[in-house]
Structure 1
């Protein structure tokens, strides 16, 4: 059953990647193209010319689809593993289990890190700080994931004594508190040039958010239906733990 869930999750990811690629190609790519042209203009007027290793035509077509499809398929597989582990342990049905896992993952991997370090188009940020900015972003992701895991643990522990709704509320408060502390503790990075159009920056970030919503939200919907079908036609409900651990 775990293998079937894994395949369903990866298949869901591939299907969603088609819609995500369509959106990115139609709406996000024009903002990237404009940002790149501005960066190239700046290079031509004083810094070093930028030579493309891969042509823009390949980047915005085959490269874009490969990147989105690879990410979506891998994400679908990861969500399938998490759903298999949590199913039957949190007191909700299959669809709700998928939605909760997807929402918690989305909040920890996308929402919180990007609230602190939002996505930026080409030409924004100094080249010499790419390493440090990337490191800070991954630290934010790890801290956010740790906050989610701890809040889930608190919810499960309190679930022994309280209703699911009450224990989930306490877990949510714990998560918000930890995430807020992390947000305040991590250093702020703002390297947007004064000359860079704010409208273009906001448009790029809006499309980045929408693209993530399409991928994560689409996966939550499509995979939830596939998972429910698999569970309804198997004995996963009664033997969920057995599939995860032979000693359970």
Structure 2
């Protein structure tokens, strides 16, 4: 049975990744292009002699904007990976992301099935996908949202990454606490859901308040572009998890109905 869930998770994860890639291509890439244009314009404006600029000056400009490169600027025609190739590679990246997430989700789903959450496979899949999005994506994103090109300090990459990972761990721990709390609370669904929500929010809000803020947005960067890029970033994740949860839930319900109609044929392997 685990092999069935794993195959389902991989296939649906790949499909959801491609759907999310299409969303990112339509709504995220134009903002990336705009941010890169601003970065290049700032680099050119800071060059004292564009026709005789040195490689060292190019390094300094790139480092100032958080993109230190070995040979000049990384986004133009002479980039190691050109923008058209980067845009095509977006679908490869989201597809591989979907495969990885789908495989892990399927294994976790197999472990949760019949033990936690709704008894229906379809409802459990949707609930698990929504919980994963909240814990792994939304919780760290609220504290440390994504930044477009031209925003970011290269010296702070490691510390920012560490803080982001800490927020993911907080989200996962808060989810475990919420589930354990809901199972121990007596009463109807409203009492359990309320207790679970409070148990989830207390450690998350505490982490939001205690962990240091990271503000790397340079002065003068367009607020509208920053806001649109971050919306596209979280929107891509929302599209992925929504598509994955719905499709995995639909496939699980369909398999459950087939197993009920043909119990001998659909016996677990």
Give yes or no for TM over 0.5. Answer: yes
Could you tell me which residue of structure 2 aligns to residue 185 of structure 1? 210
Aligned match for 1:123, one of 145, 150, 170: 150
TM-score normalised according to structure 2 size: 0.81
Could you tell me which residue of structure 2 aligns to residue 53 of structure 1? 80
TM-score normalised according to structure 1 size: 0.88
- CA deviation vs aligned residue, 1:162-220 (integer Å, no higher than 9, x gap): 44543232122100111111111111111101121111101101111211111000001
SS at match of 2:235: helix
Contiguous gaps of at least 5 residues in structure 1: 236-242, 244-248
Aligned match for 1:71, one of 97, 116, 135: 97
Task: Flag the 1:162–1:199 CA change in 2: closer, same or farther, 3 A.
Answer: same
Moved more, 66-75 or 213-222: 66-75
- CA deviation vs aligned residue, 1:15-59 (integer Å, no higher than 9, x gap): 122222222112210110111121222233242442433221111
Partners of 1:50 and 1:150 in 2: CA distance: 47
Partners of 2:12 and 2:152 in 1: CA distance: 35
Q: How far off is 1:91 after superposition? A: 5.2
Could you tell me which residue of structure 2 aligns to residue 97 of structure 1? 124
Could you tell me which residue of structure 2 aligns to residue 155 of structure 1? 182
Could you tell me which residue of structure 1 aligns to residue 51 of structure 2? none
Contact 1:5 1:230 in 2 (8 A): no
Could you tell me which residue of structure 1 aligns to residue 31 of structure 2? 31
Q: How far off is 1:155 after superposition? A: 1.9
Aligned residues: 234
Contact 1:43 1:50 in 2 (8 A): no
The structure with the larger Rg is 2
Contact 1:117 1:189 in 2 (8 A): yes
- CA deviation vs aligned residue, 1:125-175 (integer Å, no higher than 9, x gap): 1111111111111111111111111211222233xx444543232122100
